Amino acid sequence: MTTVGEFMTTRLVTMDGNDTLISAAQEMRDSAIGDVVVTDGDSVVGIVTDRDITVRGVAENMDPGSTRLNQITTRDVITVSQYDDAVAAADLMRTYAVRRLPVIDDGRLVGLISMGDLAVEREPQSVLADISADDPNN
């Protein structure tokens, strides 16, 4: 069995729900990532993606400088353990139509696994793996 821990990224960016959309967008740009995990102390509250900022924030006429992440955060996040089967994690992504899963160990965030991470490792010749392995173009 191949585990989530073999593929997950541990280079995470977390932000507080009271941070603004602007600060999250800038962090995503500076870190060349497409999401931040929203936390309250050590607890995972949800996740915000670059698409969430665009669709739930800017497109809804929310001011990115004053709107807080907790206003657009996707809650009820599906999580996995680093010891879970990677194929089962991919099935969860498919079932819940999500591209990223926070990895939790003893209630603590330890990583993030994405559809791209799984594609790079499990299907290295696929188009998704090719795109995911490329350097960011932004």
pLDDT tens for each residue of 93-106: 989 999 899 999 98
On whether the pTM is more than 0.85, the answer is no
Q: Are 21 and 53 in contact (CB under 8 A)?
A: yes
Domains and CATH numbers, the chain: 4-133 (3.10.580.10)
How many other CB atoms are found less than 10 A from the CB of residue 27? 15
* Segment 3-40, tens digit of pLDDT: 999 989 998 999 999 999 999 999 999 999 999 999 99
Of 54-63, 67-76, 109-118, least confident by mean pLDDT is: 109-118
Q: pLDDT band at residue 117, thresholds of 50, 70 and 90? A: confident
* Segment 40-64, tens digit of pLDDT: 988 899 999 999 999 999 999 999 9
What value does the mean pLDDT take over residues 104-109? 91
| β-pairing verdict for 100-105 and 43-49 | unpaired
> Rounded to 10 degrees, what is the CA torsion of 45, 48, 54, 55?
-60
Q: Which residue matches tokens 């992504």?
A: 93
Residue whose C-alpha is closest to residue 6's, from 74, 61, 75, 84: 84
Distance, in Å, from the CA atom of 93 to the CA atom of 78, rounded to the nearest integer, reads: 9
Distance, in Å, from the CA atom of 125 to the CA atom of 105, rounded to the nearest integer, reads: 31
